[in-house]
Amino acid sequence: MLEWVTRKENLCICGPSGTGKSHFTEALGQAAIEAGMTVAWFTIEDLGALVRRHRADDSLARAMSRLIRTDLIIVDDIGLLPVSPDAAEGFYRLVDAAYERRALAVSSNLHPSGFDEIMPKTLATATVDRLLHHAHVVVTQGDSFRLNQATSGQGVIPLR
Ligand SMILES: Nc1ncnc2c1ncn2[C@@H]1O[C@H](COP(=O)(O)OP(=O)(O)OP(=O)(O)O)[C@@H](O)[C@H]1O
Ligand SMILES: [Mg+2]
């Protein structure tokens, strides 16, 4: 199941809210750790914070090279919130640094071809071009697990 990680390929998991994307990437991270790999987990805004932290002393390239020593890097929930310019830059820099060197898994409500809706078009094109070159794309579908549980009364313990 994790051969693609050792081959340094990517995984893009996309589909509607509540269809298990984060659940899947968490399970994947757990499986990778159990297989003795190292895993890093980010939201896209964490990447924005990383950019800001390292911009001041120009150490971003070094931080990225350090980060891509991790066997599997996961970026979860891209596209739920507006992407700040710093986060868009961080995401591009990560995808570029990891390109053909490290496995990335990203989850998003949008198919990567729609990333130009959430980040500047030229940056999105360059990012997605690298991301999808060696990528497995998994599209989740169906109803939200959350909505199904909520409407079948399993979301809460009933009040007495
Ligand atoms: N295969 C599964 N079996 C049982 N429960 C699941 C499964 N996949 C997801 N769930 C549960 O369904 C809920 C929603 O899943 P998850 O948070 O992964 O959705 P998501 O696709 O990441 O949604 P969003 O786009 O809103 O972030 C969670 O409570 C999760 O634990
Ligand atoms: Mg999610």
Evaluate: CB of 148 within 6 angstroms of ligand 1.
no
CA–centroid distance, 56 to ligand 1, in Å, is 38
Could you tell me the domains of the chain?
29-151 (3.40.50.300)
Entry pTM:
0.93
The ligand that comes nearest to the alpha carbon of residue 147 is 1
CA–centroid distance, 60 to ligand 2, in Å, is 27
| 145 CA closest ligand 1 atom index | 12
pLDDT at res. 47: 96
pLDDT at res. 49: 95
Six-digit token string for 61: 């390239």
User: Nearest CA to 44 among 9, 5, 94, 101?
Assistant: 94
Task: Tell whether the model's pLDDT for residue 158 goes beyond 90.
Answer: no
What does the pLDDT average to over 119-130?
A: 96
pLDDT at res. 58: 86
Task: Tell whether the model's pLDDT for residue 125 goes beyond 90.
Answer: yes
Name the DSSP class of 17.
T
